[in-house]
Structures are given as structure tokens and as C-alpha cells.
Chains A and B, each alone.
Chain A
Amino acid sequence: MSILKATNLNYSVGSSQLIKNVSFEVEEGSIFSIIGPNGAGKSTLLSLLTGDAKAEGIVEIAHQDINDWESKELALKRAVLPQSVSLNFSFKVAEVVLMGRSPYVNGLAEGPHDYEISREALKIVDLEAYWDRDYTSLSGGEKQRVQFARVLVQLCKDSFEESLAGKILFLDEAVANLDPTHQHQVFIILKRLQTQGLTVINVLHDLHLTAQYSDHVLVMKNAQMLTCDTMQKVMTPERLEEIYEIPFRVIDDPETDWPLLITG
């Protein structure tokens, strides 16, 4: 069953067309990755799917046109983790995470449960001790993990074990700044949330992460969709050479069955 459907998306800024005639569907509960060379239109495509930019064509989330969603209703269904966040004001780490609770807060202040789940989220991303720290004093990678905690508490209303069926998390190269330990930590958490029904749509550069964690892969090149298929069908030497224009070798890892990619 598809949870997101894009039909004939086109998007231009000035005279340059950044997205040309892209159509695809995302299956509910899958991890869906968008890959492609620099400047191919990956992040632009994602911004059309999150509603940050308005496309020509139709984006449907849960069978309803994205333009017909109330902002507040949509916030209960999907969260977005951008590549980086610039914040010039000295919020505490806790306050940044708590902002993820916004869709659940009616009135002026967060309640005890909002604090509890935010603290748990920081524990999940290994930053429990940072609760009271000044967010602006953190390193780039730490900030990104705080932002990850923020989207976790937006997706999970009552607990991190609840059903996430019908919910979507968008990530825009969100792990690019993280060390390998925390890159994998993020994806291990995403894999777990996937078993609870979460759909993940992410823009990725790292082909190994793509191969390891994606169910489906959409390839963008020159503002167009080259293909959209299962991970195994995209991760072939022929496809990868076509995408990146350098030679690739693909070896199946005998232990995990994941394709291992070797360039050159």
C-alpha cells in the first residue's frame, strides 16, 4: 500500500528546471532512499515532498493532496530532519528537543510527559547528559543528534514502542555530519521504528548506508528520475556506472547478503 504518491512533479527556479516530470510511489513501512550525483535534484525533490516548496504536479500523503493538509494535522503524521539547522539563540538542548512536542502541546506549556519522553529521546541518541547544555555550544554532529531526538519525540506520541503506522520521517542527508558509530546508530533506530510501521524517506550520499538499510532506491540524475526500484536492482555495477559515471564492482557480502561496493 502506498503512503506517498508523487505524480508528474515539475519544479523550476527562474529559467532552470530543477525537477523534470518525476512520478513514483512509496510503500508504507519501507525505508526509501533517494540517491544521485551532486546537483541532481535530490534535496529539491525532498522539499517538494515535505511541502517546503510547491511543485507543479501532485504530492499525495495518505491519499490526500499535500496542499489540503492542515499544517497541524500533517505535523502529527510526518517529521522532517534537515541536513543542518542554524540556530543563533542559546536554547538549552532540552528546549530544542521539547520543540518536537509542539504538535501535542495545547496551550502555553509542555506537560510532564513531554519532558519525560524528551529525556528518553536524548538517552536514545546517547546525549542524556546534555539535557541542560547550551545547544549552540555543541559540535555539528552533536547538534544533529539533538535534532534527531527532536523528530523522534514528534513522531512518537506516547512511547517509543507505540505503532507508527501511517507516519513518515523525512531525512535530508541528515547523517552526513555524523561519525560512523552514530550514522549506524541512527539507522539502527530507524530500522527498529520501521518494525513499528514507520515509513522513512531519505536523501543519502553514502552508498554503503543505502545498500545496507534501504528497501527501495530512487535515483535522480540531471533533474530527472533515472529509476525507482528495489535496492538490489539499483545496486548493480551497470546502474551505478550509469549514475556516477565511474566504474563500480559489486560483491555480495557472504555474511549479510548486503552488496559491497568498490569504486574504480
Chain B
Amino acid sequence: MSTEVKPVSKSHGLNYGIYLGFFSLLLALSILASLTIGAFAMSPLSVLAILVSPLASLLSIDLSAYYTTVEETVFWNIRFPRVVLGILVGLSLAVAGAAMQGLFRNPLADPGLIGVSQGAAFAAIAVIVLSGNFLGIFTLPVSAFVGGVTTTLLVYKLSTRNGKTSIPTMLLAGIAIGTIAGGGIGILTYMADDGQLRTLTFWTMGSLASATWEAIFSIIPLVLIAVIALPMHARSLNAFLIGENISGHLGFDPDKTKIQVIMLSALLVGAAVSAAGIIGFVGLVVPHLVRLLAGPDHRIVLPGSMILGSAVILFADLIARIIVIPAELPIGIIMSITGGPFFLWLLMNRMGRNTF
């Protein structure tokens, strides 16, 4: 009988709390940078003053000496909603990627890479062009969700036999489905009127530029549901990584895990795509970085991806906004030119080691 019990030391001897703290620090930095830096620069002090002014005015403290009305307007109508949207989109795409990688038992699954984002965008665009809105502000997120679920199920069915997902089949099926959805988007482009056309361009490039409070409120309920529900599957996703059957032997319900994780990730991708269009590679890069630092346990990978995903999107959006001032690039382009090489590096690395 051993009496001395040492808890399993997580990667590099640090525990999960430290990683979550570190990711949170990055997120705080990215928020501060996003709120202050831009074509119209603001000091951290005025940003802080504007942020707490509604609260301060409740206590009859007037902070207006610290900022101008222009700053106030820019903050509430442009900067702040954009940061909030960036956080929601980043966490959604990153944690959806992490969950899908667990489900496919394969670290190359990314909502953009396997066609899920394209499927979601296609469904949303089809609804815009063909039928208009039927659910008010929830029309886009809900139709994008339906598109996302359909694509995920399709890719999963096509690439999985007897609980084993074939990586080449998954990637190829994803490319094919993404291409088909892209073709569909092309056809819809011809049918769209001028106003719709502008929206469509935004969808396919991915951007946070149209951040509005309406868009934010339309996706918040979906994101909240998934953010609370997904981490509950952390342990069963861990068991899933050893094997679908084995997770059943260990007392989890693989079928239930599968369907719920597919639904929840599609919900997140649908939400993100409906508000910001197709932004690739976040779901691939972020969970990979978390695993690299903290190990593959979903109890750290899921929450860690949420926080780090938000930070990565905010930094990428910051670059997109300032690199060609006074114009701005779509964030999708920034993610593609940084995430693409990362993906290639992963592939090369994998050929050598075969593990993640």
C-alpha cells in the first residue's frame, strides 16, 4: 500500500488554474488594446471612465471631465460592441473546434476546415436571399445553426465507420461540402439584389465590422446555452478520445455525447457565422495551443479555448483594423494568412510524430 499520494502533475508541472489565469490575462490585454487602439485612438483612462460612467452616474458621480462626447459615441456605438462581438465569436469558434476535435478523435477538425462554417453561411445566406426573416433577429443565427448541424452530421457520417474517423476522408469530405456550399453561395450571389450583395461579401470574408448590439443580442442566448452545456461533456469527451466503445464501457453514453456535442458546436458555429461570417482556423489553432501548454484533458481544453479564443480574435481584429488605416481588412484574411501556415506546420509535424 502506498501512502504518499501525489496528484498527477499536469503538463510542465503547473496546474490548470495558472493556465486559465494566463489566458485571462491575455484576454484582458486584448480587450484593453482593442478598446484604445484604432483609427481613432483613446487613452486607457478615458476608456475606463466611459465604461464605468453609467455606474458612476447612478451614484451621482460625474466622470465626463475625463472624456469627450465624440469618444463616448465612438466607444458605445463602435468599439465596445465590436469587442463584445469579438469575444463571443472567438470563444464560440475556438470551443466548437475543441469539441469537434474531441468528437472526431482527431485534432485537425476545424469548423472552417471541414465545411461546417460554409454550410452555416450557405443556410443563412439562402434565408436572406430567398425568404427574408421569419424569426426576427434570430432568423440568421437559427438558420446558420441548421446549416451547421446538417454539415457536421454529414461529415461525421461520411468519415466515420465503426466509431473510427478517417482523417483523410474527413478533410476531403469537408472540402467537398465546403465547395458545394461555396457554389451554392455563388448561385445565391447572382440572385441577390445590391443590398443583399454587400452582406454576402461580408459573410464569405468574415468580419467584425458590422458589430451591432442587435447582432450581439441575437446570438447571446445561443452562445450562453452552449458555453454552459459543453463543459459538462468534458469527461465523456476525454473517454471518447480513447475510443467510442470504451467511453461506453466506462459508463458514459457515447450516442448522447455525440449528438449533444454536434448540436452544441453547431449552435456555436451558427452563432459566430451569423454575426461575423466565415472566420477560419480559430477553432484549429486555439485548442491546439491550449493542449500544447496544458495537455489534452477537456476539463482544461474547453474553458481554456473559450478564453484564449476570444483573445486571439480580438488581437487578429486589432491587426485587421490598423494594418491599412484608414481602411480595414476583413479579419478572415488575417486568420487565413496566419492560420494557414500553422495548419501546414501541424500537418508536417504530424507526419513525424503522429500524436498531438
Interfacial residues, chain A to chain B (CB-CB below 8 A): 50-52, 71-76, 78-80, 82, 85-92, 94-96, 98-100, 102-103, 105, 108-109, 112, 115-116, 119-120, 123, 131-132, 136, 154
Contact A119-B5, Cβ < 8 Å, known A75-B251, A80-B249: yes
Contact A99-B250, Cβ < 8 Å, known A88-B107, A94-B8: yes
The answer on a CB contact under 8 Å between A123 and B2 is yes
Report B-chain residues with C-beta under 8 Å of the C-beta of A88. Answer: 105-107, 241, 354-356
Q: Would you give the shortest CB distance from B255 to chain A, in whole angstroms?
A: 10
The answer on a CB contact under 8 Å between A92 and B8 is yes
The answer on a CB contact under 8 Å between A76 and B251 is yes
The 4 closest A-B CB pairs, nearest first, are A75-B251, A89-B296, A94-B8, A136-B355
Q: Which residue of B lies closest to A132 (CB)?
A: B9
- The listed residue (A80, A90, A119, A131) touching B296 by CB distance below 8 A is A90
CA distance A3 to B156 in the complex (A): 37
Q: Show 12 A/B contacts (Cβ-Cβ < 8 Å), sorted by A.
A: A75-B250, A75-B251, A85-B242, A87-B241, A89-B107, A89-B356, A91-B296, A99-B238, A99-B239, A100-B250, A115-B5, A131-B8
The A-B contact count (CB < 8 A) is 96
Report A-chain residues with C-beta under 8 Å of the C-beta of B198. Answer: none
The answer on a CB contact under 8 Å between A89 and B355 is yes
CA distance A112 to B7 in the complex (A): 8
CA distance A52 to B9 in the complex (A): 34
Q: Would you give the shortest CB distance from A172 to chain B, in whole angstroms?
A: 10
The answer on a CB contact under 8 Å between A79 and B249 is yes
Report A-chain residues with C-beta under 8 Å of the C-beta of B5. Answer: 112, 115-116, 119
Report B-chain residues with C-beta under 8 Å of the C-beta of A82. Answer: 243, 245-246
CA distance A184 to B221 in the complex (A): 57
**Extra 10 A-B pairs, beta carbons < 8 Å, given A82-B243, A87-B242:** A71-B253, A79-B249, A90-B296, A90-B356, A94-B8, A95-B297, A99-B242, A102-B251, A119-B2, A119-B5
CA distance A76 to B249 in the complex (A): 9
CA distance A92 to B8 in the complex (A): 8
CA distance A119 to B241 in the complex (A): 22
CA distance A109 to B252 in the complex (A): 15
Report A-chain residues with C-beta under 8 Å of the C-beta of B296. Answer: 89-91
Interface residues in B205-261 by Cβ distance below 8 A to A read 234-235, 238-239, 241-243, 245-246, 248-253
The answer on a CB contact under 8 Å between A103 and B8 is no
CA distance A119 to B3 in the complex (A): 10
Contact A154-B250, Cβ < 8 Å, known A89-B356, A90-B295, A120-B2: yes
- The listed residue (A74, A108, A112, A115) touching B251 by CB distance below 8 A is A74
Report B-chain residues with C-beta under 8 Å of the C-beta of A90. Answer: 291, 295-296, 355-356
Report A-chain residues with C-beta under 8 Å of the C-beta of B107. Answer: 88-89
Q: Would you give the shortest CB distance from B106 to chain A, in whole angstroms?
A: 7
- The listed residue (B235, B241, B248) touching A51 by CB distance below 8 A is B248
Interface membership of chain B positions 64-108, coded 1 if the CB is closer than 8 angstroms to chain A and 0 otherwise: 000000000000000000000000000000000000000001110
CA distance A99 to B299 in the complex (A): 13
Interface assignment of B1: CB less than 8 Å from any CB of chain A = yes
Interface centre among A73, A123, A132 (most CB of B within 10 A): A132
The answer on a CB contact under 8 Å between A108 and B248 is no
Q: Would you give the shortest CB distance from B80 to chain A, in whole angstroms?
A: 33
The answer on a CB contact under 8 Å between B235 and A108 is yes
Report B-chain residues with C-beta under 8 Å of the C-beta of A100. Answer: 250
The answer on a CB contact under 8 Å between B246 and A103 is no
CA distance A154 to B246 in the complex (A): 12
Q: Would you give the shortest CB distance from B173 to chain A, in whole angstroms?
A: 19
Report B-chain residues with C-beta under 8 Å of the C-beta of A123. Answer: 2
Q: Which residue of B lies closest to A159 (CB)?
A: B1
Report A-chain residues with C-beta under 8 Å of the C-beta of B164. Answer: 86
CA distance A91 to B239 in the complex (A): 11
CA distance A262 to B8 in the complex (A): 48
Q: Would you give the shortest CB distance from A208 to chain B, in whole angstroms?
A: 28
Report B-chain residues with C-beta under 8 Å of the C-beta of A119. Answer: 2, 5
CA distance A82 to B248 in the complex (A): 13
The answer on a CB contact under 8 Å between A92 and B243 is no
Report A-chain residues with C-beta under 8 Å of the C-beta of B239. Answer: 99, 102
Q: Would you give the shortest CB distance from B254 to chain A, in whole angstroms?
A: 9
- The listed residue (A71, A79, A89, A112) touching B252 by CB distance below 8 A is A71
Q: Which residue of B lies closest to A136 (CB)?
A: B355
